[in-house]
Homo-oligomer: A and B are copies of this chain.
């Protein structure tokens, strides 16, 4: 075995691939939240000009890909492989969303952990030299997710306090091999004021963010069956992946400036802290959850926080990566979490296992 392979589940890349650009496209509620100034595009019309929620989600995903390409200064033809997924049955938002780009693609399903799964595979492929540029994209939409998993919006059902609010958003990432030069070779010159510019005023193309390793998650099932308390269902998987990352890589919590979970929300995050304490790890002070970051708890009435494939993706793109790029955070363990269920599985009484993938992001 070569030296890339670490412990039971992790890889530490010898020539770490880089994230050269990231984009975030969100809907109306997200555009009123704490990160409102950081998104590339915040749309007031949650239908994004489309006729259906599904089509809206695809439109959003297409826009996210286009923005990430624009920021990277490359064309769709320069992307070797695309890794993408969403929450809908048969991943239809992704199939319809990325179709126009005509990039060879791998469809994924990892529930809300899909952004981690996509980034892991993009990094593995870029590091192995299977192409210069890879793309990772995920999305979720409040309207399509409620229809898929719960009730039609017009039904106006009540939500328990443990429920989370699916983020309407899509995040896309361009990942490049270590040997790809920091600036686009094609000579595409980007005007500073052009559409798609990050409102935070950051550089379009990242040049200091790399994926130095990954910890691929396994399915963790504590037997919980409450699909309206996904934070609790996913917390054991987050614990498993985080403690596995520490063990595989010979690290402790203190190695990371931030440990960022995807969408455990308030309930799941509190369980995670306790579970990790039981394993001898203290993440307090350095833990952050995208579901708790994307919405304001006091004013936005999202109960236990945000969730969905888009939650971790847009928070990573708009909030986390710029801080790594600037060096404010040197090392981040990004851990999107997913609850593995369908309406059929929970109606049949199956439990809701979780999965979480760990991505080690570093300033260099």
Which residues of A are at the interface with B, using a C-beta cutoff of 8 A?
A: 1-2, 4-5, 8-9, 11, 51-52, 54-55, 80-81, 85, 87-92, 95-96, 98-99, 102-111, 117, 120-121, 124-125, 127-132, 147-148, 216-219, 221, 340-345, 348, 350, 353, 355
* A348 contact from B52, B81, B99, Cβ within 8 A: B52
Q: A98 to B219, Cβ gap below 8 A?
A: yes
**C-alpha spacing A128/B92, complex, angstroms:** 30
CA gap between A99 and B345 in the complex, in Å: 14
User: Would you call B129 and A4 a contact (CB within 8 A)?
Assistant: yes
Whether the Cβ atoms of B92 and A90 lie closer than 8 Å is no
List 16 A–B pairs whose Cβ atoms lie within 8 Å, in order of A's numbering: A52-B348, A81-B216, A89-B148, A90-B340, A90-B342, A92-B344, A96-B350, A99-B221, A99-B353, A105-B218, A106-B110, A106-B216, A107-B108, A124-B124, A124-B130, A148-B344
Find out whether the CB atom of A106 lies under 8 angstroms from the CB atom of B87.
no
Give the nearest-CB partner of A82 in chain B: B218
Instruction: Note all chain B residues with C-beta closer than 8 A to A128.
Output: 4, 124, 127-128, 130
Alpha-carbon separation in the docked complex, A80 to B6 (Å):
11
Inter-chain contacts of A90 with B (CB < 8 A): 87, 89, 109, 111, 340-342, 345
Is B89's CB under 8 angstroms from A89's CB?
Answer: yes
Is there contact, CB below 8 Å, between A343 and B80?
A: no
Copies per complex of this chain: 2
Question: Across the two chains, which residue of chain B brings its CB closest to A85?
Answer: B109
Q: Are B110 and A107 neighbours in the complex by a CB distance under 8 Å? A: yes
Chain B nearest CB: distance from A350 CB in Å?
6
Question: A109 contacts which chain B residues (CB < 8 A)?
Answer: 85, 90-91, 107-109
A333 CB to nearest B CB, Å: 16
Residues of B within 8 A of A95 (CB): 219, 340, 353, 355
Q: A98's closest neighbor in chain B, by CB?
A: B219
In the complex, what distance in Å separates the CA atom of A108 from the CA atom of B91?
Answer: 10
A135 → B minimal CB distance (Å): 13
Q: A106 contacts which of B1, B108, B132 (Cβ < 8 Å)?
A: B108
Interface contact A105-B5, CB-CB below 8 Å: no
CA of A148 to CA of B129 in the docked complex: distance in angstroms? 39
Q: Which residue of B lies closest to A132 (CB)?
A: B1
B99 and A106: CB pair below 8 A? no
The minimal Cβ–Cβ distance linking A292 to chain B, given in whole angstroms, is 24
Residues on the B chain within 8 Å of A107, using CB: 108-110, 117, 340, 355
Q: Given A5-B131, A95-B340, A127-B128, 18 more contacts at CB 8 Å?
A: A1-B129, A5-B80, A55-B348, A89-B90, A89-B148, A89-B342, A92-B342, A95-B355, A99-B353, A102-B219, A105-B217, A105-B219, A106-B120, A106-B121, A108-B109, A124-B124, A124-B128, A128-B128
Interfacial chain B residues near A221, Cβ < 8 Å: 99
Judge whether A130 and B4 touch: CB under 8 Å.
yes
Closest chain B residue, CB of each to CB of A345: B92
**A113 nearest CB across to chain B (Å):** 9
Q: With a CB–CB cut-off of 8 A, which chain B residues contact A147?
A: 344
A185: min CB distance to chain B, Å: 12
B4 touches A92 (CB 8 A): no
